[in-house]
Every structure is written in C-alpha cells, then in structure tokens.
C-alpha cells in the first residue's frame, strides 16, 4: 500500500494531524517529517524493531547511529546524561535549532538507534508542527535524513515520494529553510569538538568554550556517519572557483553551471542559480534540490561554484566538497 501523505505547515500546531503521526510512532511505524534543516525519517527511539525499519528503508549501515529528536528539555533528560556536560545549559539555549549535541546516553535509547555506542546525539528541531508531533508521540524520535544512503538529503517532500519505500506516513511541509543537516558537536569540559559543520559554526561555540576544533578525518571521536559517501548526485559534478568555472563553461557546452546569482550574470548560456552570495540560506536551501535536478536533467554533468570558506559557507562547502570533484 502507498504511504499516506498529510500536508502540514511548520508554524501551525495542527493537533489532529500531529496525532495521526503520533499513533503511527506508538505502533512501531515510520514517519517522514519536515524540519528547518532537512526532512527526517523517524521511529520510536525506544523500539529497536521500529528503528531497524529506518536502516532497511534507507540502506543505512548499522554502525551509523541515529539522532534523537525531542520536543523539549524534559524529553532530552530521558535519553541523555545532560548533567555530565558542563556547558549543557548554555548550549541548550540554541534549541530549538540546527544543533545536535552528543552526550553520554541513558538506557532508554535502544541499541539499534545508538549503533552500540555509549553516547547519543540529541536535537530539538525548530518546527512547531514537528515538535507537537514528537510531544504527542510521548517518546523520542530517532531520525536520520530522509534519503537513500549516499544521496543528497531531502529538502522538499517531493524528493522523498519516489525515493523511499515502506514508510507509513509522510508529512508534506514547506521546503527546508536551512537545507543542510544540523551541526553535530561533542562537548567535553572546556573543549567543543565539531563532528559535522552546519548552520552553527565555530564562532558560535567559541563564546562558550576555551577550545573549539573540527574533528579531523582520523579522529576517533568522529561521527561514524562521516566516513560514508554522502550527498552525491549520480551524475558527474565538478567544482571550481568563479574564474576557472567561467573559463571552463566557455569551452565546454555539455556541462550545466550551478552558480551564485552574481556569477550567473556573467554566463550567456543556460545556468542554474543557487542564490545570492549575500543570502547564505538561499544558497544552502537550494543546494540539494539542484543536485537532485542534475540527476533528473538532460545534462550528463554539472559544475558548481566554490563559495568563500568563511562562516556558514564553511559548512555549505563541506557538503559541496563531498558531492563533487575538483576541476
């Protein structure tokens, strides 16, 4: 049977619709829901069998843990030993928001969603409808991004509808406002390790911690998920700085340029627009949609513009680098 689809809005707490999903969760089913980062595919974190369905649907490796989405701080306490994280109260001020905090876990987190680790990543998403749905579910919702493993995360409901099979319910909301996955941090006393960059960057944490660092490729506390292929379109995608890109597309007509609004003005032929360099969320929220469009298009390959690696663009470039090869 095809999954059920319900239209929702992130700023509306539609209790009746939220209750439909909450019942699915309580019965061990799988629900796709919008958040401000990307769409999530969720199940009851306390139900190992329900969580196994997520791994099967996505083709996800079993050693890659799921982030637990909760509605409020009280629910977070059920799953994480927050009192063992010195800066927890300060960090929690960034919730609801695009931040996942990795902390020592409590026993209620199943072995399947935690992938056997002693820690759990917790997040409160910034979407009123989704928090209502989690609250009514009366459990934490273990949810990775709603896409087949390796593919770009879904930032529009239509990305999911023909890609993931075996889901019980899809909440169709607006396009994701941020469009790249949450920042994942591992706070330890006066050190903050950024396991995955996102909308919150080192600058946000340097106000709270003496030391802030990005986990390196060989770092043992790295997010298990970061070692896997990620965010990639099926077709070839190159990346280049503006001048190199402009020169390349001048002589190669078979490639679609994916560029900022500013650079687009300098290209005569067809191009796809990421958004203005002055509006970083415009760029991040269109990125995965354009990578998916490349696969569906007549073009055999694309070339995407490199952004200046400062602030939030460091995080956007992190995804672009994983999805593309350097020219």
- Binding interface with Mg ion (CB under 5 A): 145
- Bridge pairing between strands 301-305 and 255-260: parallel
Give the span between the Cα atoms of 144 and 216, in whole angstroms. 22
81 touches, from Mg ion, ligand AMP, none (C-beta below 5 to 8 Å by class): none
Q: Using CB under 6 A, which of 226, 246, 267, 277 touches ligand AMP?
A: 226
196 touches, from Mg ion, ligand AMP, none (C-beta below 5 to 8 Å by class): ligand AMP
73 touches, from Mg ion, ligand AMP, none (C-beta below 5 to 8 Å by class): none
Under the criterion CB under 6 A, does residue 315 sit at the interface with ligand AMP?
Answer: no
Judge whether 164 and 81 are in contact, CB under 8 Å.
Answer: no
* Contacts (Cβ under 8 Å, ≥6 apart) of 158: none
Q: Using CB under 6 A, which of 110, 144, 233, 275 touches ligand AMP?
A: 144
Under the criterion CB under 6 A, does residue 96 sit at the interface with ligand AMP?
Answer: no
Alpha-carbon dihedral sign for residues 152, 155, 159, 164: positive
| Furthest C-alpha separation in the chain | 60
Judge whether 124 and 141 are in contact, CB under 8 Å.
Answer: no
Give the span between the Cα atoms of 105 and 124, in whole angstroms. 16
57 touches, from ligand AMP, Mg ion, none (C-beta below 5 to 8 Å by class): none
Under the criterion CB under 6 A, does residue 145 sit at the interface with ligand AMP?
Answer: yes
Compose the 176-205 pattern: x for residues touching ligand AMP by CB under 6 A, - for all others: -----x--x----------xx---------
Judge whether 260 and 283 are in contact, CB under 8 Å.
Answer: yes
Q: In the bound complex, which residue of the shown chain has the CB atom lying closest to ligand AMP?
A: 225
Of the candidate spans 154-162, 220-228, 236-244, 305-313, the one that interacts with ligand AMP by CB under 6 A turns out to be 220-228
Closer by beta carbon to ligand AMP, 62 or else 308:
62
Q: In the bound complex, which residue of the shown chain has the CB atom lying closest to Mg ion?
A: 145
Give the span between the Cα atoms of 293 and 208, in whole angstroms. 40
Query: Across-strand partners of 186?
Result: 193
3-state DSSP assignment of residue 256? strand
Under the criterion CB under 6 A, does residue 98 sit at the interface with ligand AMP?
Answer: no
Beta strands in 8-133 (DSSP E): 31-33, 40-44, 68-69, 99-104, 119-123
Judge whether 291 and 301 are in contact, CB under 8 Å.
Answer: no
Nearest distance from C-beta of residue 311 to Mg ion, angstroms: 23
Nearest distance from C-beta of residue 16 to ligand AMP, angstroms: 28
Under the criterion CB under 6 A, does residue 32 sit at the interface with ligand AMP?
Answer: no
Give the span between the Cα atoms of 97 and 134, in whole angstroms. 15
Give the span between the Cα atoms of 315 and 41, in whole angstroms. 22
Under the criterion CB under 6 A, does residue 287 sit at the interface with ligand AMP?
Answer: no
Nearest distance from C-beta of residue 289 to ligand AMP, angstroms: 17
Among 97, 124, 121, residue whose Cα is nearest residue 194: 121
123 touches, from ligand AMP, Mg ion, none (C-beta below 5 to 8 Å by class): none
Interface with ligand AMP: number of residues (CB under 6 A): 18
Alpha-carbon dihedral sign for residues 194, 200, 202, 204: negative
Closer by beta carbon to ligand AMP, 134 or else 238:
134
Residues in contact with ligand AMP by CB under 6 A are: 64-65, 67, 102, 117, 119-121, 144-145, 181, 184, 195-196, 223-226
């Amino acid at each position: 049977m095809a999954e059920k689809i319900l239209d929702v809005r992130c700023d509306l707490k539609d209790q009746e619709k939220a209750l439909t999903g909450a019942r699915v969760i309580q019965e061990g089913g799988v629900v796709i829901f919008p958040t401000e980062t990307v769409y999530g595919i969720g199940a009851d974190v306390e139900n190992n069998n329900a969580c196994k369905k997520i791994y099967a649907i996505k083709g996800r490796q079993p050693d890659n843990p799921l982030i637990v989405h909760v509605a409020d701080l009280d629910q977070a306490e059920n799953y994480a030993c927050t009192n063992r994280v010195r800066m927890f109260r300060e960090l929690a001020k960034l919730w609801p928001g695009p931040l996942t905090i990795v902390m020592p876990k409590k026993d209620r987190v199943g072995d399947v969603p935690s992938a056997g680790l002693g820690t759990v990543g917790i997040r409160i998403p910034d979407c009123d409808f989704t928090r209502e749905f989690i609250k009514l579910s009366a459990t934490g919702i273990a949810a990775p991004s709603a896409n087949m493993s390796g593919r770009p995360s879904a930032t529009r409901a239509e990305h999911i509808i023909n890609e993931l099979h075996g889901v019980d319910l899809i909440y169709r909301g607006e396009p994701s406002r941020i469009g790249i996955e949450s920042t994942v941090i591992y706070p330890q006393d006066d050190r903050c390790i950024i396991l995955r960059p996102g909308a919150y960057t080192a600058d946000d944490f340097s106000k709270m911690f003496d030391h802030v660092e990005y986990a390196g490729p060989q770092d043992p506390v790295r997010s298990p998920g970061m070692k896997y292929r990620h965010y990639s379109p099926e077709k070839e995608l190159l990346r280049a700085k503006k001048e190199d890109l402009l020169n390349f597309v001048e002589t190669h007509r078979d490639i679609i340029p994916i560029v900022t609004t500013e650079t687009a003005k300098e290209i005569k032929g067809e191009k796809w627009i990421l958004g203005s360099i002055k509006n970083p969320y415009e760029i991040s929220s269109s990125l995965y949609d354009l990578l998916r469009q490349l696969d569906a298009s007549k073009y055999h390959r694309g070339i995407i513009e490199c952004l200046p690696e400062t602030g939030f663009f460091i995080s956007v470039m992190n995804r672009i680098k994983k999805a593309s090869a350097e020219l």
